[in-house]
Amino acid sequence: MCRTLSSLVLILPLLALLGCEGGGDPVVTVDPPSVGVGLEPAAAALTTGGTQRFTARVSGASDTSVTWTATSGDITRDGVYTAPGTAGTYTVRATSVADTRRYAESPVTVTVPPVPLPTITHFAAVPETINAGQSATLHWEVAGAASLSIEPDVGPVSGGAGVTVSPATTTTYTLKATSEAGTVTATTTVTVNLPPVIALFTAAPATINAGQSTTLSWTVAGATSLSITPGVGTVTGTSVTVSPVTTTTYTLTATNAAGSTTATTTVTVNPPPTISSFTAAPATINAGQSTTLSWTVAGATSLSITPGASTVTGTSVTVSPAATTTYTLTATNAAGNTTATATVTVNQPPTISSFTAAPATINAGQSTTLSWATTGATSLSITPGVGTVSGTSATVSPATTTTYTLTATNAAGNTTATTTVTVTVPDAWSSLTWANELPGSYDSDVYRWLDSGKQQRTAVLTRNTARDPGGSYGGMLRQFRFYTGTSERVATGTGASSGPGYIWNGWGYVVSHFSGNGVSHSGSLAGTYRRVFVGRHHAIHEFSWNMPIGGTPVKVTVHWFFATGRDHPVYAITFDTSTAPSTGLPTEADSRAPYGDIAWDGDGTQAFVDGVKWGDKYKFYSRTEPFTAQSQWDYSQPNVVPYTMLYSRAADAEMGMVQTLSWLQHNTGGTWFSDNWGRASETRANPGNFGSWMMPPNWNWPYQMCQYEMGDTTQTRSKRLAWGLMYGAVGKPSHPGYGYETTYSGYPYQSYSVFMVMGQQSAGEVLAQAAQVERMLKAKLSVVQGAVVTSGPLGVARSDTATYPVPGYNSSYAAYELRADLSGQFNATLEAAGGEAPESPVPRPLGDGCAGTPLPGWRAARGGRGLLRLVRLQHRSPVAHPQPRVERQPHPGQRHVETHRETGARLVGLAPGHFPLRITSRCR
């Protein structure tokens, strides 16, 4: 800086001329010594075009303003300096206005700034992810670039509007921005979702024979699903087995979000041979002639013809069939075989497929019908005594046993068949018998009688006073023997069990379920038995027990009723709950009696059950076979007489029960399946109750049969069968009937009777017995002499009296009941319903004793003689005069009298087969 030299007067003029150097302190002169200039900043460094504000300070003068100058560049009056565009060192000067000799200077160094690199503020792909084959747009924002380019596959670009790219695979794009200063880059990635890759798709083996299989295998990457066509569909894993019938090209399609990829492989199938033709010439011959079988075959390694010719070669063979024959040509090669047929018709003499007499046995004076089925006859004749006939039947009335010969004739000859009609003189019926026997060590009462066909039936009733060899207390039908044609069928108790303590060695046990899962059954209780009555043609056997039901002793009495001329026994039961108070039993009890298992298909047969049927208000039957829990059913037809049954078509056997009263006269069945009345399996109500079954669930059958022994899809051989009443039916003053349509009383008695039916399924014996009961209920009993009995006990072992549901019909034994007049005589007419007569109505052998002599279960029948006429009305006139009747009367002398062994009372009626009755008369 300049220094003040006020003491050096001699050299002041020289200093004033020199001033101060730029960049140093302001130079102070001595004339006037008071003015000084200061400048800040003392030095500056700028780039070309840069600016800098300078500040001047003036001292020693009242005017402090300055003037600004610069050696290069521009400076404003306010001291703002702008550097020039050329690099160098320049000077800024501030000169005092008050004394222009006074100034200050600052050096300014100006440099050229470095050139900046370009800037990329944005580089992106929209969208960032695409599927193969789609496009994305690259966008960017760049400053300071002289040129732009994008790699790969794009090259130079300009502006910022973007560029469209379609990469085949996931690609990272690089944007390069270049200027004089250099190059900068930015990247963005376009992710490409690729379709799956099928590396392998083969068939091993690639060639198979028809009927064989091959394995399709594959190796695939990136697939979310796989499918194969034709005929395979969606697949998983790495292989699948196929069995094409012809040569097939399979296509594997692998799919993901990006698309699908396919591959193919071909399986060659060697076909079996082809038969272009197989004919017989001539196609029709007479017996004893020949014909030629000819064929055209391709691709066969061997040929055979059946029947008879076996292996053949060439293109034809001669055959001589004895009857019309269908020949089968089989052409074979390694791939399999092909067949074709040709029929040779052989003209034959007529055939007689059947020639029968129905009935085959008649009484003298009766008629029978000869029936036949023939094929190919031009004329028919029957000898002896008939001659030429036509149609399919003829009526004959031989006086003696005669063998008839049917001759069928045509141009080829004739054929004969014979049938014999046996003519008998009516004879007496053998007596019913009783014996105490030990079949299989079972202490039994054995009853034998003649049925409606005069063949013996045998019922073996095991005594109930001690345990039988099978472990139960008996009191049931151990064995039942009867004839089907000329063969005797033997049905014995199976010994099946339904749990510990439940053994069923026969049929006819008494079972009652009650509240709280309680069960009382006669098989576990000792009881008593007695022969109530054994007559010449009728017998009644009794079992009784004191059964605990809900803690109350209930007297249960069962009667078995057998009668000559009747096929089926009657099982009658009474529950006596009179020991309970007037409110009835303290529990809800049902009845499942009679109950048990017996081989109704014949001992040792063990046939599958082919179907079930029952009837209550409607008829239920299973519709499909084989019978399983999945069988279809129908419950839509109204019913009159309740029944239940099982059958085996294979064994031609069935067993069932038929009530002696109609549904309206005595409600039967149990549980809640009545919501399906009028329906079928396709329209069943409440299907959610059925579970996995199509048949009713096992807990919801109105009658117990084999349902608890059935699986979901398997057949059953169970021979279980029982009757059924609703809970409360035993011992309640009021209980709902099955169907919940009304209420009934089961206190103090619950009684009912059923026929025990066992026979051939082809004969439909259970439903025939139901129809028979219906006819008996509709028939009208009237008297000219004596009286029709209209009231009495409504069950066995009862002391009460009530009006019979049908006048003259005692439902306990399904018998008509008459009372003789004071002379001991009666004269009665049985008017058949609708022209159909009941079959063998039987006496009612039980009732009360004479006045003053009470006899449990009996009504005295002392003497009584009379005549029963069976009337079939052909037409009933609307006016008071009936049309002519056809009457059938018994043969003279066939009246019979049976004496009660305990009382001496006699049962008077007509001979078996001639509609015996129970006749009562005054006491003598």
Nearest CA among 573, 586, 577, 680 for reference residue 635: 680
What the block records as the tokens of 327 is 């020949």
% the chain with pLDDT above 70 = 85
pLDDT in tens, 343-365: 999 888 899 999 999 999 887 77
The percent of residues above 90 in pLDDT, for the chain, comes to 70
pLDDT band of 897, cuts 50, 70, 90: very low
Going by pLDDT thresholds of 50, 70 and 90, the confidence category of residue 915 is very low
* Torsion angle defined by CA atoms of residues 726, 730, 733 and 735, in that order, rounded to the nearest 10 degrees: 0
User: Measured between alpha carbons, how far is 6 from 324 in angstroms, rounded to an integer?
Assistant: 167
- Predicted confidence (pLDDT) at residue 392 exceeds the cutoff of 90: yes
Q: What is the mean pLDDT of residues 771-775?
A: 93
790 pLDDT exceeds 80? Answer: yes
pLDDT at residue 427 in the model: 55
In this prediction, residue 11 carries a pLDDT of 30
pLDDT band at 873; cut points 50, 70, 90: very low
How do residues 36-90 score in pLDDT, each as one tens digit? 989 999 999 999 889 999 999 999 999 999 999 999 999 999 999 999 989 999 9
pLDDT at 81: 92
Summarize the confidence of residues 535-552 as an average pLDDT: 95
Amino acid type, 310: S
Q: Is the pLDDT of residue 141 over 60?
A: yes
Q: In what order do the strands lie in the sheet with 402-410?
A: 361-363, 413-424, 402-410, 379-383, 387-389
Other C-beta atoms closer than 10 Å to the C-beta of 550 total: 19
| Residue 105 in tokens | 């200077």
Q: What is the pLDDT of residues 274-327, one digit of tens each?
A: 999 999 999 998 888 899 999 999 999 999 999 986 799 999 999 999 889 999
Q: Exposed/middle/buried for 264, CB within 10 Å: 0-12, 13-18, 19+?
A: exposed
What is the pLDDT at residue 347? 86
Q: Which of 137-141, 198-202, 292-296, 793-797 has the lowest mean pLDDT?
A: 137-141
What rounded mean pLDDT belongs to the chain? 85
Spatial CA neighbour of 663 closest among 619, 623, 706: 619
Q: What is the pLDDT of residues 76-89, one digit of tens each?
A: 999 999 999 899 99
Confidence band, pLDDT 50/70/90 cuts, at residue 846: very low
Number of Cβ atoms within 10 Å of the Cβ of 169? 9
What's the pLDDT at 502?
94
Give the pLDDT of residue 1.
35
Reported confidence tier of residue 426, pLDDT bands at 50, 70, 90: low
How far is the C-alpha of 496 from the C-alpha of 600, rounded, in Å?
A: 14
- pLDDT for 15 beyond 50: no
**What are 686-713's pLDDT values in tens digits?**
999 999 999 999 999 999 999 999 999 9
- The Cα-based distances of 64 to 53, 94, 112 in angstroms read 18, 11, 35
Is residue 921's pLDDT more than 50? no
Residue 672 has pLDDT above 60, yes or no: yes
pLDDT (average), residues 175-185:
89
Residue 831's pLDDT band (boundaries 50, 70, 90)? confident
First and final CA of the chain: distance in angstroms?
181
pLDDT at 845 over 70: no
What is the distance between the alpha carbons of residues 732 and 589, in angstroms, rounded to a whole number?
8
β-pair type (129-131, 182-193)? parallel
pLDDT of amino acid 485: 86
pLDDT at 309: 61
- pLDDT grade, residue 33 (50/70/90)? low
Name every residue whose Cβ is closer than 8 Å to that of residue 41 and which is 6 or more positions away in sequence: 52, 54, 106
Taking the C-alpha atoms of residue 617 and residue 878, their distance in angstroms, rounded to an integer, is 32
Q: Is the pLDDT assigned to residue 919 strictly greater than 60?
A: no
C-alpha closest to that of 738 among 635, 640, 667: 667
d(CA 723, CA 594): 6
Report whether pLDDT(429) > 60. yes
Q: pLDDT band at residue 132, thresholds of 50, 70 and 90?
A: confident
What does the pLDDT look like over 447-467, one tens digit per residue? 999 998 889 999 999 999 999
Q: How high is the pLDDT of residue 853? A: 25
pLDDT at 143: 87
* The pLDDT of residue 316: 93
Residue written as tokens 């809970």? 727
Residue 497 sits at the vertex; the CA angle it makes with 495 and 502, to the nearest 5 degrees, is 105
Q: Return the pLDDT at 32.
A: 53
pLDDT at 866: 38
Please, which residues bridge with residue 369 across strands?
Answer: 358, 395
Binning pLDDT at 50, 70 and 90, where does residue 145 land?
Answer: confident
Mean pLDDT to the nearest integer, 869-873: 35
733-745 tens-digit pLDDT: 999 999 999 999 9
pLDDT at 286: 84
Quick one: average pLDDT of 791-810? 94
Give the span between the Cα atoms of 493 and 470, in whole angstroms.
Answer: 10
Q: Which phi and psi angles does 13 have, rounded to 5°? A: -55, -40
Return the SS3 of 86.
coil
**pLDDT in the model for residue 834:** 56
